[in-house]
Amino acid sequence: MKYLILTLLFGAFLLISCEDPVPNDYIPINLIEALLIVDKPIDNIRITRSLPINQEYYYEDAVIKDAECYIFEGNIGFKLSFRNAEVAQEMVYYYDNPYYLVKPNTEYKLRVILANGDTITGTTITPNNEVSWIKQIEPQIQYPFDTATLPSPEEAKTE
């Protein structure tokens, strides 16, 4: 009888220990989406974070609105402003001087300081000439659009 009870307890313990982890046990991941296009103003820089899978997704909840965002051209730094909009997909960081245009063949560095003190950096070099589109790419943010029928990103072409 004693062995039977111990066997049942051990079996129950094994069954309980085989469950999946709690779905809200995750680490948020930050994402920066930025395109610097030659001869265009610095605009539409999106900073977002992932959200738990056990809650309904709202893009506005993913937008990071309180970051300090800078772009550097050599030693010259530009502090970016946040555009708060009624449409969440238009909540972006931008440089508030529309007369400054991205220069060709120039190295730009991005530094984002999040509210918790974490820093994200990136570097890019712009192409030598202005890019002209043969076929315009789809909008960068597709939510809540139907993403199952969108064309492949490989279909976007430049000259």
| Higher-scoring residue by pLDDT: 87, 155 | 87
Spatial strand order of the sheet with 68-73 comes to: 76-79, 68-73, 107-113, 119-125
pLDDT of residue 28: 86
31 in a domain, yes or no? Answer: yes
Any domain includes 80: yes
pLDDT at residue 41 above 90?
yes
Q: Is residue 127 part of a domain?
A: yes
Q: Do the domain assignments include residue 9?
A: no
Which residues are within 8 A (CB) of 100 and not within 5 positions of it... i.e. 6 or more apart?
Answer: 41, 42, 78
Over residues 82-104, the pLDDT tens digits come to 998 888 788 999 999 999 999 99
Is the residue at 96 inside a domain? Answer: yes
Rounded Cα–Cα distance for residues 109 and 43 (Å) = 15
Residue 1 lies in a domain: no
Q: 47, 32 in Cβ contact below 8 A? A: yes
Domain that holds residue 119: 25-131
Task: For residue 94, tell me if it sits in a domain.
Answer: yes
Residue 104 lies in a domain: yes
Q: What is the CATH number of the domain that holds 64?
A: 2.60.40
Whether pLDDT at 141 is above 60: no
The strand pairing partners of 122, in sequence order, are: 110
Q: What is the pLDDT of residues 51-86, one digit of tens each?
A: 888 888 888 999 999 999 999 998 999 999 999 888
Q: Is the pLDDT of residue 151 over 90?
A: no
pLDDT in tens, 104-123: 999 999 999 999 999 999 99
Report the mean per-residue pLDDT for the chain.
Answer: 82
Higher pLDDT, 121 or 26: 121
Number of domains in the chain: 1
